[in-house]
Amino acid sequence: NENGEVDAAPESNESEYLSPVTVGGQSLNLDFDTGSADFWMFSSSMPLSQSQGHSTFNASKSSTWSVYKGASWEISYGDGSSASGTVGFDTVDIGGATVTSQAVELATGVSGSFTSDVNNDGLVGLGFSSINTIQPQQQKTFFENIMDDLEQPVFTADLEDNATGSYNFGTIDPSEYTGDIHFTAVDKSNGFWEFASDTYTVGGNKSQCQTCSPAIADTGTSLVLVDDDVAAAYYGQVSSAVYDSSQGGYTYNCTESLPTFGIAIGSDYTATLQGADITFAQIDSQTCFGGIQGNSGGGIQIMGDILLKQFFAVFDGGNETFGVAEK
Ligand SMILES: O=C(CNCCc1c[nH]c2ccccc12)Nc1scc(-c2ccccc2)c1C(=O)NCc1ccccc1
């Protein structure tokens, strides 16, 4: 079988987790992203002004590279960032799990936030290929390509706070979690690891959702973006909290102790965050920016790294389920 395991190192402000990936013999640090389905990298055909400080992939130095003639890609994300470029096929190795003809997208242009994030040399999309942006023909993700060769058609994410975690392709390592894994059915029709989430708790008190948007497990988004009524209910219990439009979200006094927050993962488990794990960033000597924010009516709730790093997460492509366990 083709199982593989790689580290997931939290970068500086822990806004993402980077893992070493080898493409055509060249190694880059990429961000594994279950919230998108494009595998793209900084490339040598970018203007130096945009690739400065990054590792870049040089197709002319790969003996296994083949061009996908006439193909292109272009992606934009909800934080306003974007990237675009050309396409080819190469051998991709992630911790020993190898795909010999993976569609690989070379950036010829990226937005400023990617340029300035020098630790991040690109993304490995681990969502479903129905949202891959390659034209004229969408291409499969690394996981879709390798799934049938794995011991089990799964990958797991163990993201850590202030420590190196791991991604595992093909096995569920019992040493990485405790107790049961709580699985829920995934609806992949929107291209995400999407599941129902109809209740939430604040300070241990359970509430029925109002908007009740489906939730997605998204290792590529730092924050937890919930329906606006849920965010308002949470910060309504934080006396110093205000919605600060200049910061783009709820802020509060860093000295205030935050209530717990729980979100349903399907119908029989609530993933609960301790208050101390909810602050995303300190913005000045007294003010903190919350890791839970509203989705501005976006119609989906995004369970990002703030939540995922507190659990052991299982993405099961065989059963089309998503599960979390304590660790
Ligand atoms: O795109 C991803 C996962 N890849 C992120 C790659 C990435 C984008 N900048 C990066 C910077 C560094 C590393 C990876 C990335 N998830 C999803 S599903 C629906 C939305 C969405 C759509 C519309 C409106 C809102 C969300 C997003 C989204 O845009 N998240 C990013 C974000 C981040 C912050 C705030 C909002 C949304």
The model's pLDDT over 58-84, given as tens digits with 9 standing for 90+, comes to 999 999 999 999 999 999 999 999 999
Q: What is the pLDDT of residues 190-218, one digit of tens each?
A: 999 999 999 999 999 999 999 999 999 99
Vertex 27: Cα angle to 21 and 31 (nearest 5): 40
User: What pTM did the predictor assign?
Assistant: 0.97
Q: What is the atom index within ligand 1 of the atom nearest the CA of 77?
A: 29
Q: How far is the CA of 315 from the centre of ligand 1 (A)?
A: 19
Nearest ligand 1 atom to alpha carbon 295 = 25
14 torsion bin: left (phi>0), alpha (psi -120 to 50), beta (else): left
Residue 47 burial class via C-beta count within 10 angstroms: exposed 0-12, middle 13-18, buried 19 and up? exposed
Query: CA–CA separation, 23 vs 92, rounded Å?
Result: 5
ipTM of predicted assembly, 2 dp: 0.98
CA atoms within 13 A on the CB side of 318: 14
> Which active-site residues does the annotation give?
33, 218
Identify the CA nearest to 123 among candidates 14, 19, 194, 44.
19
Mean pLDDT calculated for residue range 1-26: 88
Summarised one tens digit per residue, pLDDT across range 110-158 is: 999 999 999 999 999 999 999 999 999 999 999 999 999 999 999 999 9
Alpha-carbon distance of 142 to 38, in angstroms, equals 9
Give percent above pLDDT 90 in the chain: 95
Measure 298 CA to ligand 1 centroid, in angstroms: 12
Question: For residue 3, what are its two tokens?
Answer: 């199982």
Average pLDDT (246-253) is 97
Containing H/E element for 67?
strand 66-76
- Does 1 score more than 80 pLDDT? no
pLDDT category of residue 14 using cuts at 50, 70 and 90: low
76 CA distance to ligand 1 middle (Å): 8
> Is 189 in contact with 5 (CB distance < 8 Å)?
no
Ligand 1: residues within 6 Å at CB? Answer: 16, 31, 33, 35-36, 77-79, 81, 113, 117, 120, 218, 220-221, 223, 298, 300, 302
**Sequence letter at residue 277:** D
Residue whose CA lies nearest to ligand 1 atom number 14: 220
CA of 175 to the centre of ligand 1 (A): 31
